[in-house]
Amino acid sequence: MTFYLFDRSFYIASDVLLAYITVILSGAAIFYLITKADKWPTIKKYVTTTHHRKIGVLYLLSATLFFIRAGIEALIIRVQLAVPENDWWVFQGDKFNEAFTTHGTIMIFFVAMPLLIGLMNVAVPLQIGARDMAFPYMNAVSFWLFLAGAILVNMSFFMTASPNAGWTAYAPLSISTYTPEAGNDYYVFGLQVSGIGTILAAINMIVTIVRHRAPGMKLTRMPLFPWSTLITSFLILIAFPVLTIALYILMFDRMFGTQFFTGEAGSPIYWQHLFWIFGHPEVYIIILPAFGIFSDIISTFSKKRVFGYTSMVIAITIIGLLGFMVWVHHMFTVGLGPLVNTVFAITTMLIAVPTGIKIFNWLFTMRKGLIQLTTPMLFSLGFIPTFVVGGVTGVMLSVAAADMQYHDSYFVVAHFHYTMIGGTVLGAFAGIYYWFPKMFGIKLKETLGKWHFWLFVIGFHITFFPMHLAGLNGMPRRVYTYLPKDDVFIYNFVSTIGAFLMGLGTLAFIWNIYQSFKNPDYTGNDPWDGRTLEWAVPSPAPEHPFQPMPLVKTIDPLWEAKRNRGGKLPEAESARSAPIDVTSWQPIGLAGMMMVFSLAFIYHQTWLQIIAGIGVLSFFVIRNLTDEHVRVAREEENE
């Protein structure tokens, strides 16, 4: 729509205008509510904190916000595709392309990742008997850098320059020749900034798990969620730098006239290799932690230790290793030759073996157990059949010659939504319901939780099952319309109905959170009759848990203590000194400065690039010159 102001005409697309109005109104409402409830001190506490539980909560909160945004985009996509030759609102052509690009980018990088990293932050230190993450300050830096990147990508829409080359950003479409707008620059810098945060988070997790376990907590006694976190962190450490390099040279191609992906010496295939060498490990990065969550939950609510613990750990490791050897299965139609294609087809098939081992281990954990159908358990049970469907379509996709038919069709869309929603999202929901008491000391409502589960899962299958058939009937991915004679109308129509059911399920979840805080059900340390150490500390988890430090003698130490020691954990003689928690505005300041730095590049303002660059560097200098250990030592001397 066009409107006139000071004798000049301004044009703004109606969807952007609506988004502005919504954001400004809800922002004002939130501001008013916070002021009315006098919650600004709490906000300040959370912004300056370095405590792992609070940072985990921040991760989960921002992930939920982005989940709503990208979910609305999914509904927009489904409405536009509901009937053939649809002409709904503005979502055709570029607008539609922007919608599916940001839907994919945000769901992968700013929903799936932070949901899992948030749960890791909340649970992993407590599960291994650590008093905090190894580097609390760096943990805060990780979160704020992630948020800065996420805000950059989300901002692009409001600046009417969304990324529009798909979440895979294949060159040469993502080169400035074909997409000269600022959209894909936002993509590059948003992912780059949040990627730094993710790498730092992975380093932090590795050091925490390696160095800060309670006395007696050998690696072979560690619960499976920390195990999957450890493997995942190594995957992040190896895969994310590849993305960094890919984005870096894409940035050079877009901004500084290099020709890595075009011209005589360059090739667009380089981008695909780099992207998928990162991208395939990435999909295991977002599924392995979910596997860990399911292992712990299924074990807790079957009242049995996890079946085949050793093979579970080996399976996670093998999946992690194989994850680096399968990236070409995203490129079977590029024409790399039959040898390459068959080798990668075989390695891809092999992944089914460790995954199958895990599925059967979960089933046999439940066998002869005592299954309590609480909400977290429901989500874990919903995961098993759903993920098996995603797994078997994965094996079908690994057949190289057949993949030439599936590739880039709706069959693929169905497959990865089955694995990512059936695995990651259900896992994250299960984890949120399971550890909510540890975060806030209250339980989420069971009845609303069950509504959430059934609406979401039934809606999910209605949405994504027909997509397999639409793909087999020749519907390509990333199209905004189709013809009646394509015979895919019924599948798309059914999908759209299912998508709205999933939306209702998500609303039930949000309503559940609101209700649970309004009429809180306070719980004690151990609401689920848990098995691992996190249920031995008060809820919500305090700043200094584990006083006195427990001595771990077995797997599932709390369960063993409840059976044989009247619930008292054996105590350790000495404990590792806890990491020092500080309160600091520096992490959020650094992230803000990174954002300004990125914007200076996106809009080619050299003077601002220099100033912001010096600003970012100065944070490093300041941090190098401060050492809280010195301060703490001095305080101890003066006592």
- State the nearest-atom distance from the C-beta of 349 to other proteins, in Å: 5
29-37, 476-484, 512-520, 607-615 -> range binding other proteins (CB under 8 A): 476-484
Question: Looking at beta carbons only, is 44 or 563 nearer to other proteins?
Answer: 563
Q: Can you say how many angstroms the Cα of residue 39 is from the centroid of all Cα atoms in its chain?
A: 28
* 618-633 residues labelled b (16+ CB within 10 A) or e (exposed): ebeeebeeeeeeeeee
Among 302, 386, 532, 598, binds other proteins (CB under 8 A): 302
- State the nearest-atom distance from the C-beta of 575 to other proteins, in Å: 29
Contact 316, 288 (CB under 8 A): yes
Report the alpha-carbon distance of residue 427 to residue 172 in Å, rounded: 36
Residue 497 sits in the site that holds other proteins (CB under 8 A): no
**Which residues, other chains included, contact 22 with Cβ-Cβ below 8 Å and sequence gap of 6+?**
none
- State the nearest-atom distance from the C-beta of 367 to other proteins, in Å: 5
User: DSSP states of 186-247 as a string?
Assistant: HHHHHHHHHHHHHHHHHHHHHHHHHH-PPTT--GGGS-HHHHHHHHHHHHHHHHHHHHHHHH
Among 13, 238, 388, 510, binds other proteins (CB under 8 A): 388
Residue 310 sits in the site that holds other proteins (CB under 8 A): yes
- State the nearest-atom distance from the C-beta of 121 to other proteins, in Å: 31
- State the nearest-atom distance from the C-beta of 318 to other proteins, in Å: 11
Site string for other proteins, 429-468 (x = CB under 8 A): -------------------------------------x--
49-57, 485-493, 502-510, 539-547 -> range binding other proteins (CB under 8 A): 485-493
DSSP-derived secondary structure letter, 584: -
Distances (CA, A) of 549 to 248, 546, 565: 46, 5, 16
- State the nearest-atom distance from the C-beta of 340 to other proteins, in Å: 10
Among 450, 478, 576, 623, binds other proteins (CB under 8 A): 478
Contact 488, 89 (CB under 8 A): no
68-76, 137-145, 231-239, 367-375 -> range binding other proteins (CB under 8 A): 367-375
Among 17, 18, 392, 617, binds other proteins (CB under 8 A): 392
1-9, 378-386, 453-461, 509-517 -> range binding other proteins (CB under 8 A): 378-386
Segment 335-364, which members bind other proteins (CB under 8 A)?
335, 337-338, 341-342, 345-346, 349-350, 352-353, 356-357, 359-361, 363-364
Report the alpha-carbon distance of residue 597 to residue 533 in Å, rounded: 43
CA gyration radius, the chain: 25
- State the nearest-atom distance from the C-beta of 2 to other proteins, in Å: 22
Report the alpha-carbon distance of residue 51 to residue 126 in Å, rounded: 12
Report the alpha-carbon distance of residue 255 to residue 609 in Å, rounded: 14
Tokens (6 digits) for 137: 């300050």
- State the nearest-atom distance from the C-beta of 175 to other proteins, in Å: 9
| SS3 assignment for 67-81 | HHHHHHHHHHHHHHC
Question: Looking at beta carbons only, is 56 or 104 nearer to other proteins?
Answer: 104
Cα angle value 431/433/437 (rounded, 5°): 105
Segment 136-195, which members bind other proteins (CB under 8 A)?
165-166, 170, 172-173, 178-179
Segment 546-575, which members bind other proteins (CB under 8 A)?
563
- State the nearest-atom distance from the C-beta of 43 to other proteins, in Å: 41
Question: Looking at beta carbons only, is 199 or 250 nearer to other proteins?
Answer: 250
Site string for other proteins, 395-434 (x = CB under 8 A): xx-xxxxxxxx-xxx-------------------------
Report the alpha-carbon distance of residue 149 to residue 622 in Å, rounded: 23
Site string for other proteins, 204-243 (x = CB under 8 A): ----------------------------------------
Type of residue found at 88 = W
Residue 623 sits in the site that holds other proteins (CB under 8 A): no
Distances (CA, A) of 463 to 166, 413, 478, 482, 600: 21, 11, 16, 18, 41
26-34, 210-218, 262-270, 423-431 -> range binding other proteins (CB under 8 A): 262-270
Among 305, 450, 553, 576, binds other proteins (CB under 8 A): 305
In sign, the C-alpha dihedral spanning 545, 431, 147, 40 is: negative
Contact 375, 446 (CB under 8 A): yes
Type of residue found at 115 = L
Among 15, 181, 486, 628, binds other proteins (CB under 8 A): 486
DSSP-derived secondary structure letter, 166: T
Report the alpha-carbon distance of residue 174 to residue 176 in Å, rounded: 7
